[in-house]
Homo-oligomer: A and B are copies of this chain.
Amino acid sequence: MGDAGEAGVTGEAGMAGERGRVAAIIGGGVIGGGWAARFLLMGWEVRFFDPDPAAADRLAATLENARRALPGLHDAALPQEGRLAVCATISEAVAGADWIQESVPERLELKRKTFQKLQEHCEPDAVIASSTSGFTARQLQGCATRPEQILVAHPFNPVYLLPLAELVTTDDNPPERIEKAEKILREIGMYPLHITAEIEAHIADRLLEAFWREALWMIRDDVATTEQIDAAIRMGFGLRLAQMGLFETYRIAGGEGGMRHFLAQFGPCLKWNWTRLMDVPELDRALIDKIAAQSDAQSGHMSIGELERARDENLVAILRALKGRGRGAGAHLNAVDAALPRPALDISCPILTVSRAVPLDWTDYNGHMNEARYLQAFGDATDRFMEIIGCDADYIASGGSYFTAETHIRHLDEVRAGARIRIETLCLMGEGKKLHLFHRMFEGERLLATGEHLLLHVSLETRRSCPPAPHIAARLEEIATAHAALPRPEGVGRAVMGGR
């Protein structure tokens, strides 16, 4: 976090607080803490109540995680962080609050008692939302004083990052109250999915529960371990679910015939014993028609070809995001890359430091490679050059590295996704703590861009510049000497607009 906008944890409630953006968080486990963090970072005042004395510490840890992750997720500044008050009583927490989020343990009697207590002290027009994953809104409203206030807003862990909130209501909730709830959820960045069916566990957890029970059978029967099941998900269909869900994915699998063709092709499998969970709906004409019509309404504005390309763009972007973190399928793909052959190293000419295709996620609204990706590719070229001179992961772990101090890029020509590009790197100077590189990016013989860079060797401890280790200095001298004999390329030493 920056230098502004952080709220301290205070021990008293801001009872004077103006109405309008005050949330009371009742119950502060992983879920309640996540709600508190999201409201705070979205600028709300939060009053937090949990009878467990350890809850405030847990909240502080959650808030630290959230501050690290949520603000940067957005491409605009969030409001100034709200004030947090840890309250000693429920009444203190809920008085004057606009939103009251109940996240106490999953026992119906406890939840009902909590509602009874807080309705004695809260405003009648406040939204009282339960985080319940199992109970229906009707069950919660039960014998409440003002059932119209109570609804379900079921979030997903981590609450401060995942947008989904299942908003479950009954006929007892007036439309204005439901609208208000939707508006506030959107205001704090969530995606309210409105559910009116009376069903335990709402939608997402019903799916997850079926999934989980099947997984338990596989563990019990020694079909697979937890690690194999997780790999089966994150190396494959989990990536599809993340971007399109289930039905849009299967619509594509049906080809130009869409959902109806998919159902015709895979419907018969329903008769097979493919899960240990055996109740199966009858896939009759009425159900097929219903699914096909809903799928048309959902995705019919795109052809299968368009859906395929959108899916591929999403998957490439997600997989490349995971490569950047070195996790899940990204770790696997990084290993694949490491096994691909490297171009032969020859320091007697400009060094081939990058050879690759332009990824789908490097293009922008102009349809060509985005300007920042030129620098990313040049940065990769610099990284490869670093490896060549011995400034590798081990050296960096030992406390030395090069930081880029200055960059000059000339964007000479456009390039599109899929094009094979290469970068040739010239070492103009490598003496003491200074390193001066000149990269040229080509597609075939076409020069696309040049990148001129001044790097400084730094101590990662002091963050100040200092000379590199002797083996690096020696290798640099060798390369710089070899490159000094080469012709100086056009464009070196230029300023933007000729220094105008």
Contact = CB atoms under 8 A, between A and B. Distances in A.
A4 B72 contact: no
Contacts of A246: 211-212, 215, 229-230, 233
B316 A72 contact: yes
Interface string A157-199: 1100111101000000000000000000011010101010101
Interface in A295-325: 295, 297-298, 305, 308-325
Contact of A327 (B3, B234, B314): B314
A358 B420 contact: no
A51 interface: no
A6 to B, nearest CB: 10
Contacts of A193: 228, 231-232, 235
A301 to B, nearest CB: 12
A1 interface: yes
Contacts of A215: 207, 246-247
A92 interface: no
A15 interface: no
B290 A420 contact: no
Residue of A270, A283, A318 contacting most chain B CB atoms (<10 Å): A318
Nearest to A358: B72
A415 to B, nearest CB: 9
B75 A380 contact: yes
Interface stretch (A19-27, A119-127, A452-460, A466-474): A452-460
A494 B407 CA distance: 11
Interface stretch (A95-103, A144-152, A361-369): A361-369
Contacts of A75: 323, 334, 337, 356, 380
Contacts of A244: 230, 234, 327-328
Contacts of A17: none
A376 to B, nearest CB: 4
A313 B73 CA distance: 10
A58 B401 CA distance: 50
Interface in A322-364: 322-325, 327-329, 332-334, 336-337, 339-343, 355-362
Interface in A209-230: 209-230
Given A336-B189, A411-B407, A443-B2, A162 B325 contact: no
Contact of A429 (B229, B372, B409, B500): B500
A242 interface: yes
Given A162-B240, A207-B215, A371-B404, 19 more contacts: A71-B356, A72-B360, A72-B417, A73-B333, A75-B337, A158-B315, A162-B236, A197-B222, A213-B279, A217-B279, A219-B294, A232-B245, A243-B328, A244-B327, A276-B281, A314-B325, A320-B321, A371-B407, A405-B411
